[in-house]
């Protein structure tokens, strides 16, 4: 059975005190759970529900709605590639083929070693720097094949390069 | 008209996000003055009305009027929700404020709270904006530490709590009532109005919801005076606006221009024209939901009503420039895919219509389209745009899709002949 760490539990308790309703802390607590467990599956939903004293279905309804809540375990490095208008016209589809060539994965897939996963995403709000990619919480901009390869190589070596 | 840096005058200072550096450049002076002088809250609302400040998130609703809708004699708490869920494709101007001058937003939000009698503000920032979240959280913490937020600010007796809250990935949460539900820990389904948020918003209490840029403008309005601020812009749209330009221009980025500037000048003078000397094909002028302008239609004025007269919208001020190599049917399909992905599923026209438009786009791109499909697209767009939905997401998909087909019909047909 999954359990929250003591630090996470305290953080969650503080959040529930912070808003006029306990329910308002659900999304922030979901992010804490995601940090703890990697993704939100049925068991994690129950743990959150128990902690917040709400029904598991209330958690399910919300977790299912938001795209940043992972329903399956992502890779250590979760690549999110924008395929909206500005990135499309600046060759985002090429970027997606580079991922396939380099890592052998497509949208929604994870590499066998669990190091990388790929998700096509909508506009990341960096259209002037297209094409762009988020790796976990780091944004990479103006991507070329050379720059993309350099980033992936660094990540394979455990280094998070600067943009 | 050239650039005019009112709002963005400190954006280029790398240390502007640090409180002391911001203070040296005049941050929090308006809040301090208003609290010291015990300015009548109504007087601030009147300045904002006189400034003709309109909602900069896309809808353009007059901000001062929005504030005055909040009931005065209520015994319920009132809230401010700062809408930093910037997700309209092409738009990145709020991010520039959040990253480069977070104290400007915090001061603007505090001024709004003082004017409306609010003691709790939530800054809702979209989940994917990791760096802006970190910067704003730090700025809020610094402002508390310095006594500019919290209890008894500047010994005035005015209290204000500011809480940074983040979204979790859903375009619809930029719609103000969906944002309220998201803030309350629910899925981001827009609410039926009335009641309007000013009467019954966050936690069923009176609530003001304003865009990041809108609130940031309030600081400059109080610095300059409402009338002087308005004069920078036009009769109905006061002051300046941040325009985010992306796509095929030499110098994409964010530019601040007076309201009433020319879209053509923005693209050809300020942004250096079409990239690589190619020809302009079209411009999506105000975010992905605004109807496209053809190359010979871009000589328009950047103000809310003039853009409507030109058959499009100013929207969020996010212009996406498309050169002659771009396939409009592909942009149609990408646009419909986006709205199909982001529809909350609550209303039939939007839920089914967006997906249907996307599938028609795929069919045409795949060479299987028929001319009748174009009439079907226009028919669908009319049904989705019929004002019978809870929120404007369906129309936001219908409007650009219709314009792509109406203005570039031959290009769609050419994919059918081959």
Average pLDDT over residues B218-228: 98
Does A140 fall in a domain?
Answer: yes
Query: Is A34's Cβ below 8 Å from some Cβ in B?
Result: no
| Residue A96 sits in the same domain as residue A46 | no
Tell whether A47 and A89 lie within a shared domain: no
The pLDDT of residue B418 is 56
pLDDT at B1 over 80: no
Model confidence pLDDT, tens digit, residues B15-62: 999 999 999 999 999 999 999 999 999 999 999 999 999 999 999 999
The percentage of chain B sitting over the pLDDT mark of 90, rounded to a whole number, equals 98
Structure confidence at residue B143 (pLDDT): 98
Are residues A86 and A115 both part of a single domain? yes
Beta carbons of A86 and B247 less than 8 Å apart: yes
Looking at the fold, whether A144 and A112 belong to one and the same domain comes out as yes
- Same domain, yes or no: A14 and A54: yes
Question: What total number of domains does chain A contain?
Answer: 2
Residues A83 and A152 in one domain: yes
Q: Check residue A122 and give its pLDDT.
A: 96
Give me the phi and psi of B137, to 5 degrees please: -60, -45
Residue B378 has pLDDT above 60, yes or no: yes
pLDDT of residue B73: 87
Bridge partners, residue B160, by sequence: B150
In this structure, the answer to whether residues A38 and A82 fall within a common structural domain is no
* Cα–Cα dist B105/A12, whole Å: 27
- Does residue A78 sit at the B interface (CB-CB below 8 Å)? no
Same domain, yes or no: A86 and A149? yes
Are B184 and A85 within 8 A, CB to CB?
no
Do residues A121 and A82 lie in contact, with contact meaning Cβ atoms separated by under 8 Å?
yes
The helix or strand, by DSSP H or E, that contains position B208, with its residue range, turns out to be strand B207-211
Burial of B340 (0-12, 13-18, 19+ CB in 10 A): buried
Looking at residue B388, what is its pLDDT? 87
For residue A27, is it within any domain?
yes
**Cβ <8 Å between A66 and B163:** no
**Is A127 close to B185, i.e. CB distance below 8 A?**
no
On whether residue A34 sits in a domain, the answer given is yes
Residue indicated by tokens 């909350």: B344
Using a 10 angstrom Cβ sphere, with 0-12 exposed, 13-18 middle and 19 or more buried, the burial of residue B277 is: exposed
Residues in chain B within 8 Å Cβ distance of A26:
185
**CB within 8 Å: B89 and A88:** no
- Asked if the C-beta of B92 comes within 8 angstroms of chain A's C-beta atoms, the answer is yes
Q: Which residues on chain A are in Cβ contact (under 8 Å) with B286? A: none
Residue A98 lies in domain: 77-156
Q: What is the C-alpha R_g of chain A?
A: 18
Q: Which residue has the tokens 């009548």?
A: B40
Whether residues A83 and A32 share a domain: the answer is no
What's the pLDDT at A94?
93
Distances (CA, A) of A114 to A36, A73, A118: 17, 9, 11
CA distances to A163, B82, B94 from B57, in Å: 28, 11, 9
Closest residue on chain B to A134 (Cα): B128
Mean pLDDT of B352-365: 98
Q: Residue A13 pLDDT more than 90? A: yes
Position A72 in a domain: no
**Chain A residue with the nearest C-alpha to that of B121:** A19
Q: How many of the other CB atoms lie within 10 Å of CB of B389?
A: 21
CA distances from B398 to B281, B288, B358, B412 (A): 21, 11, 11, 17
Give residue-wise pLDDT tens across range B312-324: 999 999 999 999 9
**Domains in chain B, please, with CATH?**
19-232 (3.40.50.11540), 240-323 (3.10.20.600), 328-413 (1.20.1440.230)
CATH number at residue A57: 1.10.10
Q: Report the pLDDT averaged over residues A141-160.
A: 96
Mean local confidence (pLDDT), B117-142: 98
Chain A from 123 to 152: CB within 8 A of any B CB? 123-130, 134, 137-139
pLDDT at B386: 81
Min distance A2 CA to chain B CA atoms (Å)? 22
Distance CA A131, CA B240 (A): 29
Which of A63, A87, A109 is where one domain is finished? Answer: A63
Mean pLDDT of B370-387: 95
Please tell me the distance from the alpha carbon of residue B269 to that of residue A158, in angstroms, as a whole number: 44
In a domain, A57, yes or no: yes
Tell me the pLDDT tens digit for each residue of B62-113: 999 999 999 988 999 999 999 999 999 999 999 999 999 999 999 999 999 9
**Which are the contacts of B308, defined by CB distance < 8 A and separation ≥ 6?**
none
- Chain A contacts in chain B segment 335-354 (CB below 8 A): 335, 338, 341-342, 344
Complex ipTM > 0.95: yes
Residue A128 belongs to a domain: yes
- Are residues A85 and A44 both part of a single domain? no
Could you read off the pLDDT of A48-95 as tens digits, one per residue?
999 999 999 999 999 999 999 999 999 999 999 999 999 999 999 999
| Percent of chain B whose pLDDT exceeds 70 | 100
Domain boundary among A40, A63, A86: A63
Burial B342-380 (b: 16+ CB within 10 A, else e): bbbebbebbbbbbbbbbebbeebbeeebeeebbeebbeb
In a domain, A137, yes or no: yes
Please indicate, yes or no, if residue A123 is contained in any of the structural domains.
yes
Q: Do B89 and A127 touch (CB under 8 A)?
A: yes
Q: Are A93 and A132 found together in one domain?
A: yes
Cα separation, A46 vs A53, whole angstroms? 10
Q: Measured between CA atoms, how close is B377 to chain A, in angstroms?
A: 20
Secondary structure of residue B240 in the 3-state scheme: strand
Q: Which of A21, A67, A137 comes nearest B184 by C-beta?
A: A21
Residue B84 contacts by C-beta under 8 Å, 6 or more apart in sequence?
A: B94, B98, B123, B124, B125, B126, B129, B132, B136, B211, B212
Among candidates B188, B284, B320 on the partner chain, residue whose Cβ is nearest the Cβ of A65: B188
Q: What is the mean pLDDT of residues B167-175?
A: 97
């Amino acid at each position: 059975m999954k359990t929250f760490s003591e630090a996470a539990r305290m953080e969650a308790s503080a959040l529930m005190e912070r808003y006029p309703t306990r329910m308002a802390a659900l999304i922030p607590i979901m992010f804490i759970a995601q940090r703890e467990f990697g993704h939100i599956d049925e068991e994690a939903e129950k743990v959150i529900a128990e902690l917040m004293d709400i029904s598991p279905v209330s958690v399910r309804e919300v977790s299912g709605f938001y795209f940043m809540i992972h329903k399956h375990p992502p890779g250590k490095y979760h690549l999110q590639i924008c395929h909206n208008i500005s990135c499309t016209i600046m060759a985002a589809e090429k970027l997606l083929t580079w991922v396939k060539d380099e890592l052998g994965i497509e949208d929604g897939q994870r590499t066998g070693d669990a190091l990388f996963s790929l998700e096509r995403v909508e506009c990341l709000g960096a259209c002037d720097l297209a094409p762009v990619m988020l790796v976990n919480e780091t944004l990479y901009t103006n991507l070329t094949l050379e720059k993309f390869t350099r980033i992936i190589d660094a990540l394979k070596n455990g280094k998070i390069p600067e943009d | 008209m050239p650039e005019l840096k009112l709002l963005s005058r400190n954006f280029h200072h790398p240390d502007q996000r640090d409180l002391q550096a911001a203070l040296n450049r005049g941050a929090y002076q308006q809040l301090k003055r208003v609290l010291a002088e015990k300015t009548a809250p109504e007087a601030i609302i009147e300045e904002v009305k006189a400034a003709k400040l309109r909602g900069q998130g896309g809808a353009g609703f007059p901000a001062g009027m929005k504030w005055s809708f909040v009931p005065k004699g209520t015994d319920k708490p009132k809230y401010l929700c700062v809408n930093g869920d910037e997700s309209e494709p092409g738009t990145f101007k709020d991010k520039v404020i959040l990253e480069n001058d977070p104290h400007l937003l915090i001061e603007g939000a505090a001024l709004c709270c003082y004017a409306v009698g609010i003691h709790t503000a939530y800054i809702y920032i979209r989940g994917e904006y990791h760096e802006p979240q970190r910067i704003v959280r730090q700025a809020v913490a610094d402002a508390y530490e310095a006594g500019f937020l919290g209890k008894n600010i500047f010994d005035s007796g005015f209290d204000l709590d500011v809480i940074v809250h983040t979204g979790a990935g859903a375009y619809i949460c930029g719609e103000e009532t969906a944002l309220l539900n998201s803030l309350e820990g629910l899925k981001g389904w827009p609410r039926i109005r009335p009641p309007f948020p000013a009467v019954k918003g966050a936690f069923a209490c009176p609530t003001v919801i304003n865009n990041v840029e809108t609130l940031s403008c309030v600081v400059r309005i109080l610095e300059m005076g409402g009338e002087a601020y308005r004069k920078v812009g036009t009769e109905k749209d006061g002051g300046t606006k941040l325009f985010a330009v992306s796509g095929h221009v030499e110098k994409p980025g964010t530019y601040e221009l007076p309201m009433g500037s020319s879209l053509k000048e923005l693209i050809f003078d300020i942004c250096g024209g079409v990239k690589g000397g190619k020809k302009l094909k079209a411009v999506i002028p105000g975010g992905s939901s605004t109807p496209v302008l053809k190359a010979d239609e871009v000589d328009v004025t950047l103000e809310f009503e003039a853009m409507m007269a030109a058959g499009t919208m100013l929207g969020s001020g996010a212009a996406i420039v498309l050169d002659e190599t771009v396939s409009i049917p592909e942009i149609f399909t990408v646009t419909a895919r986006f709205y199909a992905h982001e529809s909350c599923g609550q209303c039939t026209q939007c839920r089914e219509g967006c997906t249907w438009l996307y599938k028609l786009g795929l069919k045409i791109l795949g060479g299987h389209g028929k001319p009748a499909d174009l009439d079907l697209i226009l028919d669908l767009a009319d049904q989705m745009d019929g004002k019978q939905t809870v929120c404007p997401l369906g129309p936001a998909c219908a409007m650009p899709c219709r314009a792509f087909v109406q203005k570039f019909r031959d290009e769609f047909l050419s994919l059918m002949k081959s």
